[in-house]
Amino acid sequence: MNITSLTTFNVPVFAGDFRRKKNNYLLNKAPEADFFAHSLPHLDPAYHNNLIYAIDDEFLASIFPSELVKKYTNPNFLKIVDDVNPNISTELSQVGVPLKIYGENITSEIRPHFLSTFKTAFAIMKNMQYRFSIEEYSIMGQAALLHDIGKVYIPDYILNKKGKLDTQERKIVDTHAELGYEILRTTYANADILPLVKGHHTYSTANPILLQILEVSDIWSALKEKRPYKRIFSDSESLKILYERANNGDFDKSVVDSLARAIKIKL
């Protein structure tokens, strides 16, 4: 990855400091930078673009380097990130939360949500009229698997609360997108995924199409998962909610239409 590309976000570049502080188990280069090239090196790019519409989502999930999520949820890794990037502790202090890593948040609920969002996003992309490039699939795959990584800093008593969050608790949870962005921009993550992670709760038809796809995939996956504070919604219920939000301008209706085609449901 070209570290200088991070400067396009008008933020300090911490990767040099991170590189000097990393432990031996951390990778010098991120294998996720182009996971299809990494996993399917014998296929040329021209063939990739046709292949993506034929292969199964389970296969796509299986070939994504498992080191991706493992690396960014490793407590030792995150401690180095915390040491290098003071913005993380500053962001938490602004909402009255001490800096602490809640690794169990990732292993219990968030990690399955990563994979569900990943598979949903790819299903939407394959059912849209626009044919996405292999690079766009790579960006989406990485963003979907890491979009909620910032929740590793959110106290578990808030994430697992059975009742409705109060105003302060909601404010704390809402920091996770910015925290995830700070984690990823500190390291060797692909710079193209940074705006997707940071903006995945902004909700606007003016957002880039990849961001809108991630937003819809995130909501769908959350609705389809059992949480301490909610039941599992049916496919029809979930689609109805998404169409209502599309009608309110949160994202383009065509993205929800593509999801409906993927799961073969009509309302």
Do the domain assignments include residue 134?
A: yes
d(CA 161, CA 158): 5
Which of 13-22, 25-34, 207-216, 223-232 ranks highest by mean pLDDT?
A: 207-216
64 or 101: which leads in pLDDT: 101
Structural tokens at position 90: 């500053």
Handedness of CA 145, 149, 151, 156 (dihedral sign): positive
pLDDT of residue 73: 73
Taking residues 45-70, report their average pLDDT: 55
| Total domain count, the chain | 1
pLDDT of residue 89: 94
**pLDDT (tens digit per residue) in 72-112:** 777 788 888 888 889 999 999 999 999 998 877 666 666 67
**pLDDT (tens digit per residue) in 211-221:** 999 999 999 99
Model's pTM, two decimal places? 0.79
| Residue linked to tokens 């809108």 | 212
Do the domain assignments include residue 149?
A: yes
77 or 119: which leads in pLDDT: 119
d(CA 104, CA 92): 18
Q: Give the domain CATH number at 243.
A: 1.10.3210.10
pLDDT of residue 82: 86
DSSP string, the chain: --GGGGGGGSS---HHHHHHH--TTS-SS-GGGGHHHHH-TTS-HHHHHHHTTTS-HHHHHHHS-THHHHHHT-HHHHHHHHHH-THHHHHHHTTT------HHHIIIIIHHHHHHHHHHHHHHHHTSSS---HHHHHHHHHHHHHTTGGGGGS-HHHHT-SS---HHHHHHHTTHHHHHHHHHHHTT--GGGHHHHHTTT---TTS-HHHHHHHHHHHHHHHTS-BTTB-PPPHHHHHHHHHHHHHTTSS-HHHHHHHHHHHT---
Do the domain assignments include residue 16?
A: no
For residue 208, give its domain range.
41-263
Do the domain assignments include residue 197?
A: yes
Number of residues assigned to the chain:
267
Do the domain assignments include residue 101?
A: yes
Question: Is residue 131 predicted with pLDDT exceeding 50?
Answer: yes
Do the domain assignments include residue 123?
A: yes
